[in-house]
C-alpha cells in the first residue's frame, strides 16, 4: 500500500479481541455489504440504522416497558413524527396548557398541513369525550402539564381512547419512567424530549417515541424517522445511554430537593400559589398519587406581583441559572410567559423552576436572597 492508501485503511485492520464493558461509539456512516451483494436486513447507511442508536432505542423501550422505540434529534422532531404518522384531515385533542414548542408545531406546521386540533382542558374526562369526533385519531396527554402542572388521568383517558378507537400519546418528559409509566397505565405511545432528564446535563439534544406495541402506527413513525432523517448522532445516542445509567439516582435527588423547595415556597410571603402535584392541596393530587411514584423536579409558582416583579426576582439569583430548558443537574428558572411568547396562557406572574441536584440548603439560601 502506498502512503495515501495506508492513511485510509491501516486503522481498519486492528480489532479488539476483548469484550467492551462500555459500548464503543460507532461513527461510520456506511457499512460494508456482503460479497454476494445486499441482503434484506443488512445495514448500509447510518440514517436508517446505527449500532449506538439501536442500543439507545433498546434502553428506551426497556425503561418504558414498551415493545419498540424510535430516537430522534429533538423532542419536537419526535412529536412531529407522531403527527406526521396521521393523515391530513385527522383530528387530535391536545391540552390547552401544553408545551409551547408543541403548540407552535401543531398550529404553525401541522394545521396548515391538514391536521385538525382542539386545545382543551384535559383535566375533565367528560370534556375530552365531548370533543371526540369521527375524525379523532389521537389524544395527546401531558401530565404534569407545562407549566401549570395540570394532572390528567392516563388510565381513564386510555380507556376512553380504547372505547373510541383513538390513540393515546403521553409526553412523559417531566416525570420520566422513574416517576410514571404511561404504557403500564394503558397509553399507546410515550414521548420524551431526551434533552431533559434522560440527558441530565444540559449538553445533549434529543427526542424519542416509545410504543406499547410494534404495530402499524409505530411502523409509520419509524418510516418518518428513517425517511425524514431527523435522527440523533451516534455520539448523542452513546451519551444518552450513558446518562440513563444514573437516571434513577438523579431523579431521586430531583424529587427530594423539589419537595424541600416546595415547602419553603408555600410559606414565603411573596409567593401567592405553588403548583406541584405532590401537594395535597393540588387539584390533581389524588390522580397524581395514583399514577406517579414520585412528583418530579419541576415547580411552578405565582409571586405576589406582576410580570416585572417576577422577572426581577429571577434576575436576583446567584446560584440558580436563568435558562429556559430543564432537567439538568444544575437548577434553572425563568419567567415562563416571556419564553412562551404568542399564544401563551401562562400567568404573567408565574416562575418555573427546574430543581437540580445542588445541596438543598444552598438552593434555599439562593431563593431567599432572590425573593428578598
Q: Which residues pair with 117 in a beta bridge?
A: 92
Q: Tell me how far the alpha carbon of residue 269 is from its chain's centroid.
A: 33
More confident site: 365 or 40: 365
Instruction: Please spell the DSSP secondary structure of 184-239, one letter per residue.
Output: GGT-SEEEE-TTTTTT-SS----EEEEESSSSHHHHHHHHHHHHH-----HHHHHH
Assess whether 276 carries a catalytic annotation: no
Q: What is the pLDDT of residue 354?
A: 98
Pick the catalytic residue from 97, 99, 188, 352. 99
Element (H, E) at 139: strand 136-142
Regarding pTM above 0.75, the answer is yes
Residue 223: Cβ within 10 Å count: 14
57 within 8 A of 206, measured Cβ to Cβ: no
- Whether 249 is a known active-site residue: answer no
- Work out the percent of the chain whose per-residue pLDDT is above 70: 99
CATH class of this structure's domain 247-371? alpha beta
Known catalytic membership, residue 47:
yes
Instruction: Please name the helix (run of DSSP H) or strand (run of DSSP E) that holds residue 168, with its range, or none.
Output: strand 167-171
pLDDT at 8 > cutoff 70: no
99 is catalytic: yes
Domain boundaries, the chain: 51-244, 247-371
For 136, phi then psi, to 5°, come to: -65, 125
C-alpha distances (whole Å) from 310 to each of 297, 349, 371 are: 20, 6, 9
pLDDT per residue as tens digits for the range 302-329:
999 999 999 999 999 999 999 999 999 9
Q: Which of 196, 250, 336, 352 is catalytic?
A: 196
- Nearest by Cα to 69 from 184, 206, 212, 185: 212
Q: Of 47, 104, 116, 220, which residue is the catalytic one?
A: 47
CATH of domain 51-244: 3.40.640.10
Residue range 188-204, pLDDT digits in tens? 999 999 999 999 999 99
Q: Out of 53, 61, 97, 171, pick the active-site residue.
A: 171
Q: How far apart are CA 367 and CA 297, in angstroms?
A: 15
84, 127, 131, 203, 206 from 55: Cα distances, Å: 25, 40, 39, 20, 15
Q: Residue 273 pLDDT more than 80?
A: yes
- Rounded distance, CA 85 to CA 178, Å? 28
What is the pLDDT of the chain when averaged over all its residues? 95
Cis peptide before 344 (omega within 30 of 0): no
Q: Which residues on adjacent β-strands are paired with residue 303? A: 271
Amino acid at each position: 500500500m502506498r502512503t495515501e492508501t495506508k492513511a485510509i485503511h491501516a486503522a481498519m485492520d486492528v480489532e479488539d479481541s476483548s469484550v467492551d464493558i462500555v459500548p464503543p461509539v460507532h461513527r461510520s456512516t456506511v457499512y460494508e455489504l456482503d460479497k454476494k451483494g445486499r441482503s434484506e436486513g443488512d445495514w448500509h447507511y447510518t440514517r436508517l440504522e446505527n449500532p449506538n442508536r439501536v442500543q439507545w432505542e433498546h434502553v428506551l423501550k426497556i425503561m418504558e416497558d414498551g415493545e419498540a422505540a424510535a430516537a430522534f434529534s429533538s423532542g419536537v422532531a419526535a412529536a412531529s413524527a407522531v403527527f406526521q404518522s396521521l393523515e391530513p384531515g385527522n383530528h387530535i385533542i391536545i391540552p390547552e396548557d401544553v408545551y409551547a414548542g408543541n403548540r407552535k408545531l401543531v398550529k404553525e406546521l401541522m394545521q396548515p398541513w391538514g391536521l385538525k386540533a382542539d386545545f382543551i382542558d384535559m383535566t375533565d374526562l367528560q370534556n375530552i369525550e365531548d370533543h371526540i369526533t369521527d375524525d379523532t385519531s389521537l389524544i395527546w396527554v401531558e401530565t404534569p402539564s407545562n407549566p401549570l402542572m395540570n394532572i390528567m388521568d392516563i388510565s381513564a383517558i386510555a380507556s376512553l381512547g380504547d372505547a373510541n378507537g383513538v390513540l393515546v400519546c403521553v409526553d412523559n418528559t417531566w416525570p420520566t419512567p422513574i416517576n410514571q409509566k404511561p404504557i403500564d397505565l394503558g397509553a399507546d405511545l410515550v414521548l420524551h424530549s431526551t434533552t431533559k432528564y434522560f440527558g441530565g446535563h444540559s449538553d445533549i439534544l434529543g427526542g424519542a417515541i416509545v410504543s406499547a406495541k410494534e404495530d402499524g402506527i409505530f411502523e409509520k413513525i419509524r418510516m418518518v424517522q428513517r425517511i425524514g432523517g431527523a435522527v440523533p448522532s451516534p455520539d448523542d445516542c452513546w451519551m444518552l445511554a450513558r446518562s440513563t445509567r444514573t437516571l434513577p439516582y438523579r431523579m431521586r435527588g430531583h424529587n427530594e430537593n423539589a419537595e424541600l423547595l416546595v415547602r419553603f415556597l408555600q410559606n414565603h410571603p411573596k409567593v401567592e400559589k405553588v403548583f406541584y402535584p405532590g401537594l395535597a392541596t393540588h387539584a390533581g393530587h389524588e390522580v397524581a398519587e395514583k399514577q406517579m411514584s414520585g412528583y418530579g423536579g419541576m415547580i411552578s409558582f405565582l409571586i405576589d406581583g406582576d410580570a416585572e416583579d417576577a422577572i426581577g426576582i429571577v434576575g436576583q439569583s446567584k446560584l440558580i441559572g436563568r435558562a429556559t430548558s430543564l432537567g439538568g443537574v444544575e437548577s434553572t428558572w425563568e419567567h415562563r410567559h416571556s419564553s412562551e411568547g404568542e399564544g401563551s396562557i401562562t400567568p404573567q406572574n408565574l416562575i418555573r423552576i427546574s430543581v437540580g441536584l445542588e445541596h438543598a440548603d444552598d438552593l434555599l439560601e439562593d431563593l431567599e436572597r432572590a425573593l428578598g
